[in-house]
């Protein structure tokens, strides 16, 4: 389907850590690629670094074989494991990836991809360097001048940057700009954080998983509203993501508060034809949503009831498969948050089972093993 509309939607495959073709994560990677290839409606696929566990040419050949099978554009960045050999030569030679940093405009959103690892000395010595930070400033200023929202793609939270003053500088650039979403890997666990202006999202790794089953995330920016949901690999189709209104945990602007006439929008991904899509408020009757020809979202407009707390959207495909998503829209300004620590997981929303977030922080950043 055409991506020339006003929603950015992409799939995020978590840190691969590929080692051998017969390993579980290599098998899961192939299965994830097959699932993504089966659906329409996504702009691209994002892979957040730590692609080859030891950064060897043989491991990159496995990564490249999987990426070459994708029927969507792919953006792949660097992680600390990609620097294990002391440079990124094998990463660029093996994957044919674009030189970082770079930016592309997709569906009206400026997407910016950074290298946190090349300027470092190997391992989690995350740095950007003066040139890359200057590039980031120019890009976000230019996007704002043109009226574009931004999405930033980097391996970990800005708080993990080791260069002098870099963590504070990048966190401030993000917070004061129109960067709506920072999409990351590294943690090994699913996590969402909201600093009151920007959503930070980390997706569970595909290799070296310490919490929950393998899968991948579907993220979207719909007119400034960020939505994010993890799809377990074993979960069937269709897969529903409510893209508007914003959930209270991800609301970051007064126009995200629901009242009066409210448009409900949802992205429905499926391998078969979607026969029915409908919504319900607070367990009330199900009412129809419709999708125009060539449109990616199903829509309906409703007079939001005073005191309304929960919105559900469900879809059924032609083979009888049913998927459902649920959110709690923000009802008043008290739902909007103030940051506890810019650019870090201090603003984590905590456990959110409907989004695949367990809140355990089982991974090398916090409570997990030292891989």
Mean predicted confidence (pLDDT) in 11-20? 98
pLDDT (tens digit, 9 = 90+) per residue, 186-233?
999 999 999 999 999 999 999 999 999 999 999 999 999 999 999 999
Mean predicted confidence (pLDDT) in 268-288? 97
pLDDT (tens digit, 9 = 90+) per residue, 314-356?
999 999 999 999 999 999 998 898 899 999 999 999 999 999 9
Question: Which residue(s) pair with 324 in the sheet?
Answer: 314
pLDDT of residue 1: 35
Secondary structure of residue 241 in the 3-state scheme: strand
Mean predicted confidence (pLDDT) in 117-132? 96
Q: Could you count the other beta carbons within 10 Å of the beta carbon of residue 72?
A: 16
The residues spanned by each domain of the chain are: 7-235, 254-334
Closest by CA to 103, choosing from 157, 143, 72, is 143
pLDDT (tens digit, 9 = 90+) per residue, 134-147?
999 999 999 999 99
- Helical spans, DSSP H, in 49-158: 57-68, 89-95, 130-145
- Cα separation, 202 vs 345, in Å, equals 10
pLDDT of residue 371: 72
Q: Decide which of 3.40.30.10, 3.40.50.970, 2.60.40.650, 1.10.20.10 is the CATH code for 254-334.
A: 2.60.40.650
DSSP track, 170-203: HHHHHHTTTEEEEEE-SSSS-EEEE-SS-EEEE-
Secondary structure of residue 159 in the 3-state scheme: helix
Q: Judge whether residue 2 has pLDDT over 70.
A: no
Q: Dig out the tokens for 161 from the structure.
A: 């940057």
Q: Judge whether residue 282 has pLDDT over 50.
A: yes
Mean predicted confidence (pLDDT) in 7-18? 98
Q: What rounded mean pLDDT belongs to the chain?
A: 96
pLDDT of residue 245: 98
Mean predicted confidence (pLDDT) in 37-65? 97
Output b/e per residue, 227-248; b: 16+ Cβ within 10 A.
bbbbbeeeeebbbbbbbbbbbb
7-235 in CATH: which number? 3.60.21.10
């Amino acid at each position: 389907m055409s991506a020339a509309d006003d929603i950015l939607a992409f799939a995020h495959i978590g840190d691969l850590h590929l080692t051998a073709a017969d390993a579980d994560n290599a098998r899961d990677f192939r299965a994830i690629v097959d699932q993504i290839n089966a659906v329409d409606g996504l702009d691209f696929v994002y892979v957040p670094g730590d692609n080859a566990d030891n950064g060897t040419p043989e491991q990159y050949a496995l990564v490249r074989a999987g990426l070459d099978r994708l029927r969507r554009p792919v953006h792949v960045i660097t992680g600390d494991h990609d620097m294990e050999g002391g440079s990124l030569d094998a990463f660029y030679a093996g994957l044919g990836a674009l030189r970082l940093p770079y930016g592309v405009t997709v569906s009206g959103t400026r997407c910016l991809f950074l290298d946190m690892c090349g300027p470092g000395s190997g391992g989690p010595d995350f740095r950007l360097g003066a040139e890359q930070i200057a590039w980031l400033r120019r890009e976000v200023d230019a996007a704002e001048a043109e009226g574009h929202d931004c999405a930033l793609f980097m391996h970990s939270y800005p708080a993990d940057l080791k260069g002098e003053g870099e963590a504070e500088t990048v966190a401030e650039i993000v917070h004061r700009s129109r960067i709506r979403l920072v999409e990351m890997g590294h943690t090994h666990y699913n996590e969402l954080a909201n600093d009151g202006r920007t959503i930070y999202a980390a997706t569970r790794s595909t290799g070296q998983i310490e919490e929950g089953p393998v899968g991948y995330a579907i993220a979207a920016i719909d007119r400034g509203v960020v939505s994010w949901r993890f799809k377990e690999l074993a979960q069937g189709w269709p897969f529903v993501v409510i893209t508007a209104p914003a959930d209270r945990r991800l609301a970051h602007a007064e126009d995200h508060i629901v009242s009066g006439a409210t448009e409900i929008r949802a992205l429905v991904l499926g391998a078969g034809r979607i026969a029915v899509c409908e919504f319900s408020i607070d367990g009330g009757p199900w009412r129809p949503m419709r999708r125009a020809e060539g449109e990616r979202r199903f829509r309906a407009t409703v007079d939001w009831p005073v005191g309304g707390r929960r919105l559900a959207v469900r879809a059924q495909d032609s083979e009888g498969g049913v998927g459902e998503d649920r959110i709690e829209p923000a009802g008043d300004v008290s739902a909007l948050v103030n940051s506890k620590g810019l650019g870090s997981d201090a603003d984590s929303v905590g456990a959110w089972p409907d989004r695949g977030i367990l809140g355990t922080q089982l991974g090398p950043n916090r409570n997990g093993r030292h891989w």
